[in-house]
Amino acid sequence: MSSTGASILVTRRWPEAVENALAKKFDVTFVNASLSRSQWQEAFSNYDAICPCVTDRISADLFPDTGIRTKLLANYGVGYNHIDLEAARSRNILVSNTPGVLTDATADLAMTLLLMLARRAGEGERQLRSGNWHGWYPTHLMGTMITGATLGIVGMGRIGMAMARKAHYGFGMQILYHNRSIVDDACVSEMKAEYFSELDDMLGRADFVSLHCPGGKNTHHMMDAGRFACMQSHAYLINTARGDVIDEAALVEALGKGQLAGAGLDVYEDEPKVSPGLANMENVVLLPHLGSATTVTRTAMGMRVLANLEAFFSGRELPDRVV
C-alpha cells in the first residue's frame, strides 16, 4: 500500500531497491516501454506524477491542453533536453532531475573511452576475438601516449571537472577547458587548467577533446564540420554528454578525411540508431549509453527521483527543480 495515495507512472524499470522504496510510498505503475502519443496523453490525464528518462522524448505535442492531472515530471537522469520545458511550464507542470549522483560514473566512462582510443583497445579485442591475432611484434597496434598529453574539456561542470581531475592527477595530463565563463575553483588553479573563451582556439591545442556540455538548442551540433577542421589530425574526440552535440554526418566525413584520429562515443544523435559510417570505422569506439551504468549510480539516481517526489507530495520545495 502506498503511504500518500499519489499515482506515479515510471516509464522504465529501475533497480529493485528503488522500485521497492517507491512502492512503499506511492501507487506506482511500471511500463518499461516507449509510449505512443495517445498513451502519453492518457498518462498526463491519469497520473499525479510521471518519471521519464532520456529515451522518452516528451515534445510539446504530447502534452494535452486540458484535463491534465500530472503536476510533476521527475526525470530519471541529470539531462533534461528530451523534455519540452516550455510546454511543461505553460501547463504548470514542474520538472526535476538527478544531478550530482552520476558525476564520477560518467567521468569514469569518459576516461574509459579516452584510454580505449589511445591504446586501440577496441581494435585489439576485435582482432583477438576474431582469431586474427598471430602474436606480438614491435609495430603491432601502436597507440598514443596518454601521460603528459593535453586534454581539452568542453563544459567544466561537475562531470567535466571530475574528468579533468582523473586525467590530470591520474595520468599527468595537461588540462584546457572551454566554458561559458572562467571557473573559480581551487582545483582548477592547482591543475593550472587553461581557460579558452573561444572553443575553436582550444580545439587546435588539444590531443584529446572530451564533451561534457548540456544538450539543447544552444549546443545542438556544436561539433560540426568547421569545428572538426579546427582539431589536430592526431586528436581524438570523446562524447559522454548528449548525442546531438555532434553532427554525426560531419564527424564521419571528418574521420574519413583524417581531420582527427578517432572518436569515442557513448551517446548518439538518433539513439538507439548509430550511423553505419561510425560503426564501420576501426578508429571509433562505440558504447551503448553506459555513462551512469553502475549499480551504485543507477540506484542513487532513483533515490534522488524519490526524494523529489516525496518533497513535492509533502508540499516542500523540490531539491532538484529544473522548472
Strand ranges of the sheet holding 7-10, from the earlier edge strand across to the other edge? 27-30, 7-10, 49-51, 72-74, 94-96
Is 289 an active-site residue?
Answer: yes
CA 68 vs CA 45, 47, 63, 84, 310: distances in Å: 5, 9, 8, 16, 20
Is 271 an active-site residue?
Answer: yes
- Partnered with residue 246 across adjacent β-strands are 223
Catalytic residue from among 91, 119, 271, 321 = 271
Catalytic residue from among 82, 242, 298, 304 = 242
Between helices 103-118 and 295-313, what is the axis angle to 10°?
150
Residues in the chain: 323
Q: Which residues contact 123 (CB under 8 A, 6 or more apart)?
A: 141, 282, 283
Is 269 an active-site residue?
Answer: no
Catalytic residue from among 91, 158, 289, 321 = 289
Dig out the grid coordinates for 182 from the structure: 572562467
Q: Which residues contact 54 (CB under 8 A, 6 or more apart)?
A: 77, 79, 82, 289
Q: Which residues contact 259 (CB under 8 A, 6 or more apart)?
A: 228, 229, 231, 233
Q: Which helix (H) or strand (E) holds 193?
A: none
7-22: burial string, b at 16+ Cβ within 10 Å, e else: bbbbbbebbeebeebb
- For cell 566512462, the residue is 109
The catalytic site residues sit at: 242, 271, 289
